Amino acid sequence: MKKLTHHYYSKLIKFKQMKNVKILLMTVLVLSISSCTTTMSFTQLANADQQQQLERNRNIHIAEVSDGAFVGRVFAGSGATVANFFTVYMRPFAAQITSEEEAYYIVNAVITHWEPRAAAWSGIPTQVRMHVSIVERASRNEVINKELSIRGRSVTWASQSAEGLAEYMIRNFVSEIFQ
């Protein structure tokens, strides 16, 4: 009888240990999966009744974009990179990318947050935010006024660059704003 009881308790203890291990593994799995996603949002900033889409085949001017910064450090070239992404992704929808004087729409982008991180080893995600205002040149009416925001994965095998996230965000934004 003593052998049976001892054997029963040892199996019960092993079962409880395995159960705790399973709970721990499931917790780690859930946290890993939830940290492995990139989140992106486009938030309307003002005049909610504004036109939400642009007409295709109009001349577009992309205004110069100032470089982004984080904690006092300016990331040289980030503004030119963002302007280039807008040019690349708007070109298929535009008659042409042109000077301000010939443009129907003027795109003004301001990088408000440029935070490149090495999430692969730090667990801190890369983040990019910018304010985008699109104006009809002739009427000076603002047709789009949004904040674009993207946050990379905090758990990843390879770091996501701020440039890569900005490109992804701008490509998606541009595809949504044309009729």
Taking the C-alpha atoms of residue 124 and residue 145, their distance in angstroms, rounded to an integer, is: 29
Do 10 and 44 reside in the same domain of the chain? Answer: no
Burial of 122 (0-12, 13-18, 19+ CB in 10 A): exposed
Same domain, 109 and 136: yes
Do 78 and 97 have their domain in common? yes
The answer to whether residues 29 and 44 belong to one domain is no
pTM: 0.76
CATH of the domain at 127: 3.40.50.10610
Label residue 48 by pLDDT band (50, 70, 90). very low
The average pLDDT across 36-62 equals 80
**Residue 34 pLDDT greater than 70, yes or no:** no
pLDDT value of residue 53: 86
Same domain, 76 and 109: yes
Mark whether 113 and 26 lie in a shared domain: no
Using alpha carbons, select from 75, 55, 57, 56 the residue that is nearest to residue 66. 75
pLDDT value of residue 42: 83
Host domain of residue 18: 1-34
